Chains A and B, each alone.
Chain A
Amino acid sequence: MSLTFKKETFRDDFSFRNSPASIRRFPFPFNEDKYMYAVNMEPHVPAGPPNHSYNKLIDVDEHFVAEMEDRAKVLKEDPLRYQALPHMMTAQWDTLELLMEQQAQGFPEHFSLDRDGDRWHWINRPMGIDRHFVFGDATTLPCEPFEFITRQAQGDFCIVDQRDGNLWMDAGMVTTQADWSLDFDVGMNFMEWHGPVPLAHQLGVFERALKFLLNLQQSKPVRRLNWTMTINPRLDTSPENYHKWGPDRATVTPENVGDKVHLRCELQSLWRLPRSNAILFVIRCYLIKMEELVTISKWARRFHRVLRDLPPELIDYKGLTRYRPVTVEWLSKFDDGAPTSPGIFPD
């Protein structure tokens, strides 16, 4: 299926909207009517109803071009959002290969990759990029290979190096993050960069997740969903710019909840990279407005219940304190108390 890419913004006038088809393919992150941290990892294999965001292992959707334009703006304002420590060059090429292969395979009308030994030819039609280069020779690309490809792929990307029984975040392209700073976290290990997350440490979630990931195998990627909420469809909710987007949180009223309040879902996938033995951590962000979300009645009921019963530590950590009550009140109109079906997909 050929995609029609939308012209829209994630800042200033916030013209971002989901088409009805885009709403149905949203990776809704709750498989039951309550939420707590868990090592909810499953094999990353194609799944879901037709056209769902789970169909392709690296997803491209109608927001692709607009998201890439937003990324370019973020990087222009703050180049520190892209960083790679010097020992990560092999992993950079691994990542370029993986993303080019997956995008070309999943969306052949929009991307193609031809390889003749180390001579590669990459075409990204939506962005008008047609590039010949030599795989492994960074001088044949206009920027580092990891930066080159992640300026052409939706989602944030972190490459973690594995050594000493731990994972180290030694490279990243992070412009659509839920309030964490790559510049600050580069070089940290798995426990360190998850340091500020409440509750999960005590539950042993990170120990179990780390143990699992250290044995992550080639060609067996895994995925999990994470979520938070954002006021206005803003991709760049970085701590760097918190003083610019923080005031938005005080602007929610009963009248504008439907348009302003967004559920922000992260579809995270983790891939063992072959040449470097590093792990690529893809954090793909999807946004949906409350008024779009409630068009799926199962999601409306369930999200109302999740948000209403959320533990206080999570309300605080996710920064929901100011606007949660008004949002719960607004969502309650769409919850008739009927039971919801299992799983995350729409009925």
Chain B
Amino acid sequence: MTVNTDMSVRVAAITQVADKVKRFRLVREDGQPMPVFSGGSHIVVGMREGAVLRRNPYSLMSAPGDTSGFEISVLRVEKSRGGSAFLHEKVKPGDRLTVSQPLNLFPVDQRGRKHLLMAGGIGITPFMAMMDQLDRNNRAFELHYAVRTRGHGAYWRELQGRYGEQRVKVYCDEENLFIPTQAILANQPLGTHLYVCGPAGMINGVLGQARGLGWPAQNLHAEEFLAPPLGKPFKAVLAKSGKTIEVAAHQSILEAAEAAGIDAPYLCRGGACGQCETNVTACTGTIEHNDHFLEPQDKASGRKIMICVSRIDGSQITLDL
């Protein structure tokens, strides 16, 4: 038995907050309160454009205790598969979308004596909700926020106003200011937890420096925004459903299966939660594993795939779906 707990929402406001970044405020159509959530959570937003249904994950940036609406920020990406372009160009105030219940794959470790947050660009969004919660709970935190230009950086002024320049530090590429990661990491009290959200290069760089300075893995947390990468088209044979589907270059296997009317399990749609893990029974070609979930030996075995972000370079894959 599956219980559908998605909610119908109306776009209450759209605000251009920086170059290429728009904020969307979503309120429930049935007038009920939005669920409260924990900082770091995301929702999956469902958008229908004609016959195409897109579902994209976005971090919640509004205050976790605010039940009047959800807010997300969307970066217009160059090589958009359609989601960010659709939200930026087609969606208008008053339009209808659906949202999932909040899901947190980037939670705060509640035991932390201090929380050190490092954001790059649009990676700021989960930290906005996190800081609201940390501040309300009187917990020690510090944000280091890297932006390309002051104009590209959303929210830095508002955050400094709210939490003070001691707790919110902004570094701007254009001004040749970079996060002095080494110096920051070298002097943190025992029990500090580090959270990084931004582009893959930044995450790998910061976590690598932290490990190099003796930080244990248990104190390191990161979330990378993983959109299903584009690739080449291929065929997927869905053995249980008895269907063969075409996966287009801009589609994930999950999206292609959904378009064919198959109810495949998913939660995060970002390769992190493990819900869409699917067994592979045959594959002509190479699996391109793009997820953060499977263990290296599972990836190497070629018998498992996370269909929300991974695909193949080849002609056909047969799945236990």
Contact = CB atoms under 8 A, between A and B. Distances in A.
Contacts of A88: 110
A217 B5 contact: yes
Interface string A87-124: 11111000000000000000000000000000000000
Given A43-B3, A211-B274, A275-B133, A218 B110 contact: no
Given A161-B110, A163-B107, A277-B38, A219 B137 contact: no
A90 B110 contact: yes
Contacts, number: 62
Contacts of B103: 217-218
Given A215-B273, A218-B35, A220-B5, A87 B101 contact: no
Interface string A243-279: 0000000000000000000000000000000111100
Nearest to A88: B110
Contacts of A42: 1
Nearest to A136: B136
A275 B274 CA distance: 22
B37 A276 contact: no
A336 interface: no
A45 B4 CA distance: 12
B4 to A, nearest CB: 10
A89 B104 CA distance: 18
Contacts of A161: 110
A276 B110 contact: yes
Interface string B241-285: 000000000000000000000000001000001110000000000
A90 B36 CA distance: 12
Contacts of A45: 1, 3
Contact-size category for B: 20 to 34
B111 interface: yes
A217 B100 CA distance: 10
A87 B3 CA distance: 32
Contacts of A87: 110-111
A230 B101 CA distance: 41
Nearest to B107: A277
Contact of A217 (B64, B101, B109, B137): B101
B78 to A, nearest CB: 32
Interface in B53-90: 64-65
Contacts of A211: 274
B102 A218 contact: yes
B166 interface: no
A162 B109 CA distance: 9
A164 B102 CA distance: 19
A274 B102 contact: yes
B218 interface: yes
Interface in A16-67: 42-43, 45
Contacts of B104: 277
A275 to B, nearest CB: 6
A218 B37 contact: yes
Contact of B274 (A91, A163, A215, A217): A215
User: In the complex, which of the residues A88, A214, A215 has the most CB atoms of chain B within 10 Å of its own CB atom?
Assistant: A215
Interface string A161-184: 111100000000000000000000
A59 to B, nearest CB: 19
B275 A215 contact: yes
Contacts of B267: 215, 217
Contacts of B107: 162-163, 277
Interface in B101-124: 101-104, 107, 109-111
A309 to B, nearest CB: 29
Contacts of B133: 90, 275
Interface string B209-236: 0000000001000000000000000000
B273 A276 contact: no
A164 B267 CA distance: 19
Interface string A203-216: 00000000100110
A43 B4 CA distance: 11
A277 B273 CA distance: 14
Contact of A275 (B5, B65, B111, B275): B65
Interface of A: 42-43, 45, 87-91, 136, 161-164, 211, 214-215, 217-220, 274-277
Given A215-B267, A274-B38, 9 more contacts: A43-B2, A87-B110, A211-B274, A215-B273, A215-B275, A217-B5, A217-B101, A218-B101, A219-B5
8 contacts: A42-B1, A87-B110, A90-B133, A162-B107, A163-B107, A218-B101, A275-B36, A275-B65
Q: Which 9 A-B pairs have the closest CB atoms?
A: A87-B110, A277-B38, A87-B111, A218-B101, A277-B107, A277-B104, A274-B36, A219-B5, A43-B3
